[in-house]
């Protein structure tokens, strides 16, 4: 599998950003991301390639995943000022999924795609950065997250400005990406709005149906979001790509242990 043959470049000419089609693409996607807080690119990866990726990943997911379990509040922050620890806006929730790290799939199309310069330049253009860089961390830069029956990523705000995901497999049911756009801002944590969301009373929650092969660019710092609980025997599988403004970004050993259960690189 080579990278450029894996992407639908007719629909998404990301290798020709200097062409008229490339300019139009970036223009359209930038405003879509600005308006919706999310950019959904269905059919980014060809269907046959999606299936090959899942076939390659499945045995690794089954045998070599790290089980990530976490208790957290929506802010991913246990030290908020001026709020009682038992406030319902700070309700604690459970998040569980399986993680495979980049170093476990170093010989894969997904690893090559993560490092592919046209891909990096495309993402930078969409999110309005002059340049972006892949992480200098074979564990953290590319992750495969899998959700078994009952697994969930509960409501949270992201710490990073944007997140890139590529959906590879949908479960039989559940595993729906849900967004409440602009629920907080830099100056306003909006505890009352968060309470309403967690009580299931926020009418502005949007459920986004994604097909395997969809690339998503999402701005989650101010928009609360979750992946609803998966049910059934087929896992939800998604690749997560992390890019930064500066080169050389890597996890500390403590971060690696917390997120992956190990600090050493495999191979
Ligand atoms: Fe997130």
Give the Å distance between the CA of 21 and the centre of ligand 1: 31
Q: Convert the pLDDT of each residue in 13-46 to its tens digit.
A: 999 999 999 999 999 999 999 999 999 999 999 9
Using CB atoms within 10 A of its CB, is residue 62 exposed (0-12), middle (13-18) or buried (19+)? exposed
242: nearest Cα among 154, 139, 99: 139
Instruction: Output the pLDDT for position 86.
Output: 67
Give the Å distance between the CA of 19 and the centre of ligand 1: 33
Instruction: Output the pLDDT for position 82.
Output: 67
Give the Å distance between the CA of 131 and the centre of ligand 1: 22
Give the Å distance between the CA of 221 and the centre of ligand 1: 8
Instruction: Output the pLDDT for position 80.
Output: 72
Would you give the distance in Å from CA 9 to the centre of its chain?
Answer: 22
Give the Å distance between the CA of 20 and the centre of ligand 1: 33
Instruction: Output the pLDDT for position 85.
Output: 63
Total Cβ atoms within 10 A of residue 73: 21
Report how far residue 74's alpha carbon sits from residue 198's, in angstroms, rounded to the nearest whole number.
9
Give the Å distance between the CA of 107 and the centre of ligand 1: 27
Give the Å distance between the CA of 10 and the centre of ligand 1: 30
Give the Å distance between the CA of 158 and the centre of ligand 1: 5
Residues less than 5 Å from ion ligand 1, measured at CB? 158, 220
Instruction: Output the pLDDT for position 79.
Output: 74
Domains and their CATH numbers in the chain: 3-260 (2.60.120.620)
Taking the chain (267 residues) in consecutive chunks of 10 residues, what is each chunk's mean pLDDT?
92 94 95 95 98 98 95 84 75 94 96 97 96 97 97 94 96 96 93 94 95 97 96 98 96 94 91
For residue 141, give both structure tokens.
């830069």
HEC-encoded secondary structure of the chain: CCHHHHECCCCCCCCCCCCHHHHHHHHHHHHHHHHHCEEEECCCECHHHHHHHHHHHHHHHHHHCEEEEEEECCCCCCCCCCCCCCCHHHCCEEEEEEEEEHHHHCCCHHHHHHHCHHHHHHHHHHHCCCCCEECCCCCCCEEEEEECCCCEEEEECCCCCCEEEEEEECCCEECCEEEECCCCCCCCCCHHHHHHHHCCCCCCCEEECCCCCCEEEECCCCCEEEECCEECCCCEEEEEECEECCCCCCCCHHHHHHHHCCCCCCC
């Amino acid at each position: 599998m080579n990278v450029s043959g894996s992407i639908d470049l007719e629909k998404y000419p990301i290798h020709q950003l200097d062409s008229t089609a490339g300019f139009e693409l970036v223009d359209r996607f930038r405003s879509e991301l600005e308006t919706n807080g999310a950019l959904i690119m269905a059919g980014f990866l060809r269907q046959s390639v999606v299936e090959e990726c899942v076939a390659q990943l499945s045995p690794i997911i089954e045998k070599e995943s790290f089980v990530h379990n976490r208790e957290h509040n929506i802010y991913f922050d246990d030290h908020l000022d001026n709020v009682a620890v038992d406030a319902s806006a700070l309700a604690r929730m459970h998040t569980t999924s399986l993680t495979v790290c980049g170093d476990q799939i170093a010989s894969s199309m997904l690893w090559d795609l993560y490092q592919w310069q046209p891909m990096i330049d495309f993402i930078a253009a969409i999110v309005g950065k002059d340049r972006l860089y892949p992480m200098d961390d074979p564990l953290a830069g590319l992750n495969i997250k899998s959700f078994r029956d009952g697994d969930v990523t509960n409501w949270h705000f992201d710490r990073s400005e944007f997140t890139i995901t590529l959906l590879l497999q949908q479960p039989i049911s559940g595993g729906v990406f849900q967004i409440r756009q602009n629920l907080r801002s830099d100056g306003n944590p909006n505890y009352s709005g968060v309470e309403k969301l967690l009580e299931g009373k926020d009418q502005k929650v949007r459920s986004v149906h994604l097909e395997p092969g969809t690339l998503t660019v999402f701005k989650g710092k101010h928009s609360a979001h979750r992946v609803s609980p998966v049910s059934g025997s087929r896992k939800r599988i998604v690749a997560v790509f992390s890019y930064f403004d500066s080169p050389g970004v890597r996890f500390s050993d403590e971060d690696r242990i917390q997120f992956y259960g190990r600090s050493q690189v495999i191979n």
